[in-house]
Amino acid sequence: MNLNPDARQETAWPAAQEIPKGMSPTTLRLIVTYLQKAKGPEDIDTISEGTGLAYQTVHRYVSFLDQEGVVEVDLVYGKVGRPLKRFFIAT
């Protein structure tokens, strides 16, 4: 689910909401829009591929969105190692 570059320009974070210094309202809205259109929870790698943003950027933004209660985290446990975090829009 790739969002075209035009979609990036059309979306922006609501101006009334405060965002941390260094974060872009357009990037926040791009990630939120991607997750709204997703068929289910998505991991950071998938969000990164779908939006064309760097992994580190997506990680920083979804962490902020999680703190704000905009997204929730679904943990998927494997046999070994850390659980995989998958994100979805909070209801």
Name the residue type at position 41: P
pLDDT tens profile 16-34: 578 889 999 999 999 999 9
Total-model pTM: 0.81
What distances in angstroms separate CA 89 from CA 40, 54, 80, one per listed residue? 9, 20, 27
pLDDT at position 1 over 70: no
User: For the chain, which domains are there?
Assistant: 23-89 (1.10.10.10)
Which of 44, 36, 14, 37 lies closest to 26, judged by CA? 14
Do the Cβ atoms of 10 and 28 come closer than 8 Å?
Answer: no
